[in-house]
Every structure is written in structure tokens, then in C-alpha cells.
Structure 1
């Protein structure tokens, strides 16, 4: 006689809790504030000062104070979204049936990529705040392409950022971001899914079967708290350290900004790489580019930052180092840089 007791709550209860957190959290942290911020952008053609260096022409020198100042400013901008990202990243593992994630995002065709990109649009998170959710999806065997499309789509296809960009920088910048953003999110996701081998697919199927069995047993709430605790302990310390280091390194990544930074290919490549490495809050690229253009920088480097500042950063890549193979993250980083270079060349060619 089998005396094993399954104490997990029914799937419907998990879904209800997850959707409540997602909808209420996104409304409070993203949707409602951005709705009002759009009116500010339309009226003032600004959404605030550049978090990189304010109105100055150069970032502060690399010091401990510079690191602390940037980390504090950045932390104030993103802490609510980071908490929400951790809650959702753990909840998708504990509350959402693993079969659903695998069915929607786990296949290696374009369908999972399309689903990941479309699900990202209402998220509107920066690359680091979306990373815990991506880690949760990968833990439930979302395909590499589907998870990457969700990750990049949060920042690159953020509808609020596109609106801010139109009012602040001009709608031609929005069009450039949207066209290249769609190609980056869905094209890169499709390519990464093409790299999945049959052996990797079989291994993922076997691991999924084990996850389904584990999810059917024990307390759903206790499982959620354990996963949340593990994610917080693993992700937050390395995240803080890397943000501090980048805050101190601003002066090395971004030199004195002025007319001397023109549309040469060297500058476009340099700013594409710097933008890929650096970390900013959601829509932070808009005031950064606005400030740099006002100081006389060329549109080529500005176009490079348009495509490389939002999607990835050193902290977000580090946060997902256990969720993807190193070659996948390397391909993502290189591809983002290439799209940044393309954006800079297009902006220069079209006379932005």
C-alpha cells in the first residue's frame, strides 16, 4: 500500500498566485509609473538627467566614492524591479507547472522564440531585473532561444522606452531601435535554437521529467521560499560587486564627451563595446544619449549606445552564467555589439 502523501497545492492555486504577483507587481513598478512618465516626456522632451554623468562632459574619476555614488543612484532606480524579478523568477519554478513552460518556451523551433519575445513586451524590465526570471525559465527548461528572446525583449522592445525615445530623441531613433530590436530579439533567438543538438534536447527532456515529479510533492509555498532564498543569496552579492566596479570604471568606459567623438568607425565600435558592458536602469539610455548629443558627440556612437546599453551588461551576463552555456552568452554579447555597430552606421548614413 502506497502511503506517500502529496501536499502540493493544486496547479490552479499556483497559477493564481503567480498571475497576481506578475500583474500587481508590474502595474505598481512599471505600468503605472511609466504611463505618467510618458506625459512628462511629451511635455518636457526629457525624462531626467543622465545617470552616467549628469550634465557633466566626463564621468567622475575611478574612485570608491564614484563606485558608491553610481551604485546608490542605480539601486534607487531598480530595487523594486529587482525584488519583483526575484519573486517572479522563483515563482515560475515553484508555482507554474513545469510542463507549461516546456510546452510554450521549451521547443527548439521559432515558436518558442516568438512566445518569449512577445511575453517580454509587458515586462519592461532592465536586463538585470529580467535575469532572475530568465534563470527561472531556464530552470524549467525553456529553450535557449526562447529564454534569450524573453531576456532581450524586456529591454530592447520595451514599449514605454520606445515612447520616451520618440518624445525625447525623435521618432526616427524609435524606428531605428524598433527595426533592429525586432531583428535582434527574434533573429538571435532563432539562431540559438538552431544550435541545440539532439543530445541536448534528450537531456532536457529527461531533466524535465524529474522536475515534474519533484514539483508534484511537498509544500508549494515552502518550495517557493527555498528557491527564492537560493536565488537571492547567489545573485545579489555578485550583482552588487559588479555594479560597484562598473560605477568606478565609468571614466574608462566613457571618455570626455564632446565634438571630438565623431562618427569614425573606431568610436562606433568602442562605444558599442562599452555600452554592452555597462549597466543602466530601464530607459536609462534615453537621457544618456540625449546628454551626449547635446555635448556634440556624433550620431554614430549614439546609435551604437542605442542598441548596446539596454539588452545586456556584465552583471546580467554573470547572473545568467549558470543558466546558459558559455558559448551562448558569448554569442549574445558579440551579436549585441554587432547590432550596435550597425545602428551607429545606419544613424550616420541616414543623417540622424
Structure 2
């Protein structure tokens, strides 16, 4: 329950404003466009060109032009969701009661992991657009496991992407993604909470008391919201843009060859799993990428690896959350995502996709 102190210090209009922002923002940016996009996917068995290489057989050679072209295409696809992510990430820290975040997402058991994963499902954000919200949750004492489940669940358990995938690639791909996605999201969240030491748990309790006091002594809510929004944007956006530019230029190094000789061997599956984990794409971007690669003749093993590694994390999203998690936790997340990609590659091969 919300304590009397918390109820007195949190504005009564905080919850309604946050819910209005979340529902209206997600409806405009995600739910309504994806509803219509699902009919396009059903009718055409496509949701667009591969952002990785367009209609070409391979990504462009590394250059400034390649970097700018990718950043422009990527930016057009995600800028609205990024603005919404920053608004929600700053609003979490101002409009929601500290004790509520701690009660739902702050515990170190599986309950916070389950809550984080389930709350992520309607978000449908790509890994980088979800990162500001995750940073906001962590700053309000959300547990590592709950925050990671929310972060990964946005992209991996995205119901719209699963629908697109079914119409474009086949429902067997959606089923593989859903089964392994559930294991990834909730398993990694559970593991992150298991890694919390007693000292860290005590420090979290001390921080909760400090945050409650800060909320009690805070000034004008809207001024603080604007300040936090600008602070988060100034901290996260510059490094994000630089890393997107670098990855756009490096596409040909990460995916140097696409063709029939990219077989379902262990080497190729591992290589594509690592490349997919590092690379950054917009929401559901993996669907046309995999479709284009399969059309060019690559094995289902590397395609399966990309199915599980392209969406959940990337170099930019890992960098954006470097201040929110211990480096060891982020390294484990990245490594386990690659492992799931390898498992997905061999599963797609074994199941005869």
C-alpha cells in the first residue's frame, strides 16, 4: 500500500497525467500505426525493405555516406518513440510515487521480474527507446531484474512484431521467438536479481528512504519534470547518435557477406548472433532483414540467430544504460542474448524452418 507520507507528498494528479501520457503516446506512436501495419503484412507478406541493406545483396561499404544514410533512415523510424521514451522516463521519476515503484518493481524476488516483463508487453518499444524508461525506473529504485525484464520485454515480447513475423516469415518463426523470448526476458531478469548482494540490497533500502525524502521536499512537479527530461536528453542522446552513426558505417563489417554460402554452420550462427547483438534496429526491423537475407539464400541457422539477437540489446542501448546497471550485469545480458541467438539458430535448423 502507498504510505500516508507518500500519499501526501505525491501530487494527486500525478497518476492520471502519467497514464494519459502513456496511453495517448503509445496509441499514437505504436498501437494505431501497428494495427494498420498488420493488415499490410497480411495482404503483402511484407512490412517494408530491410533497413540494413535495402534491396541490395549486401550493406554499403563503410563510409560517411553509409553512416548518415543509416542514421537518417533509423532516426525517421524511431524519433517519435524516443521522445515518448524520454517523456515517460522522466515522468516516472516525478509523477509516480516512489513507494509504488519500489513495491511493484523494487523487490529482489521473481515478482518484480514478472511485473517488469508484463508491463513491457504494451510498450512495444525498440531497445533504445525503452532505455530512457528503464533508466528512470532504476533511478526510482526498481530492481535490476524487474528493469531488465521491462527493457528486454518491450522488443522481444512485442505482440505486433510477433504478428508481423507470422504473416511475413511464417508462424513457426513467431512461435520460436515467443518461446525463447519468454525464457530470455524472465530468465535474465531472475538471474539479475539473483546476482544482487546483501550489501547492494541494503544500499537499495537506504536509497529508497532517501528518494522518499527527496520527493517530499521537491518543488514544482512540472518544473522538475522538464529539468529531468532535458537532463536525460542531454546525457543519452549525444552518445546514442554517435553510436548509431558508427554502426551505420560499420554495417558491411558486421555483415560482410549475405548469400547461399552463409550456411547453418556453428561459425556462421555464432558470427550472426554476435553481430545481431551489437547492431541497432527500429521496432520490428528484424522481420524485413531476415526476410531479405532468406531470399538471398542464407541458412536458417544465422537467420534464427538474428531473430533473437537483433531486437533486445545493441551497443547504443547498452551504452545508454551503463549508468543504471553494473558493468557485469550488462555484460551478462549481452552474453546471454548471444547464447539465445545460437540456440535459436540451431533450433530453426533442427525444426526444419
State the match for 1:27 in structure 2.
Answer: 27
> For the residues of structure 2 that align with 1:253 and 1:65, how far apart are their CA atoms?
17
Contact 1:9 1:220 in 2 (8 A): no
SS of 2:13's equivalent in the other structure is helix
Aligned to 2:344: 343
Does the aligned pair in 1 maintain the 2:280–2:310 contact within 8 Å? yes
Tell me, in whole angstroms, the C-alpha distance in 1 between the residues paired with 2:186 and 2:141.
19
Partner SS for 2:80: helix
1:181 matched to which residue of 2? 181
Moved over 4 A (4+): none
What is residue 110 of structure 1 aligned with on the other side? 110
Q: 2:313 corresponds to which residue?
A: 312
The within-5 A match list for 1:202-217 is 202-217=202-217
Q: Where does 1:192-341 land on structure 2 (aligned, <5 Å)?
A: 192-217=192-217, 218-341=219-342
Q: Taking structure 2 as the reference length, what is the TM-score of the superposition?
A: 0.97
Partner of 2:134: 134
Matches within 5 A, 1:151-166: 151-166=151-166
Cα offset for 1:191? Answer: 1.0
The 2-side partners of 1:159 and 1:227 are apart by 31
**Length, aligned pairs only:** 345
Q: Which runs of 5+ in 1 are unaligned?
A: 1-7
Equivalent residues of 1:141, 1:208 under 8 A apart: yes
How far apart are 1:223 and its partner, in Å? 1.2
Mapped contact 2:10–2:95 kept (Cα < 8 A): no
Give the distance between the partners of 1:9 and 1:112, measured in 2 at CA: 24
Q: Show the counterpart of 2:3.
A: none
Q: 1:157 and 1:105 mapped to 2: Cα distance?
A: 18
Give the secondary structure class of the aligned counterpart of 2:323.
Answer: coil
Q: Which residue of 1 aligns with 2:11?
A: 11
Instruction: Measure how far apart 1:10 and its partner are.
Output: 4.6
Q: Is the 1:121–1:159 Cα contact (8 Å) retained in structure 2?
A: yes
Tell me the alpha carbon deviations over residues 110-139 of structure 1, each in whole angstroms, 9 at most, x when there is no partner: 000000000000000000000000000000
Write the distance in 1 (CA, Å) between the matches of 2:88 and 2:10: 19
Cα deviation code 1:226-283 (max 9, x no counterpart):
1111100000000000000000000000022110101110000000000000000000
Deviation for aligned residue 1:12: 2.3
* 1:24-61 deviation per Cα after TM superposition (whole angstroms, max 9, x unaligned): 00000000000000000000000000000011111000
For residue 224 of structure 1, give the secondary structure of its aligned residue in structure 2: helix
Normalized against structure 1, the TM-score is what? 0.97
- Report the aligned-residue RMSD: 0.9
Q: Distance in 1 between matches of 2:339 and 2:170?
A: 23
Report if aligned partners of 2:10, 2:97 keep a CA contact under 8 Å in 1.
no
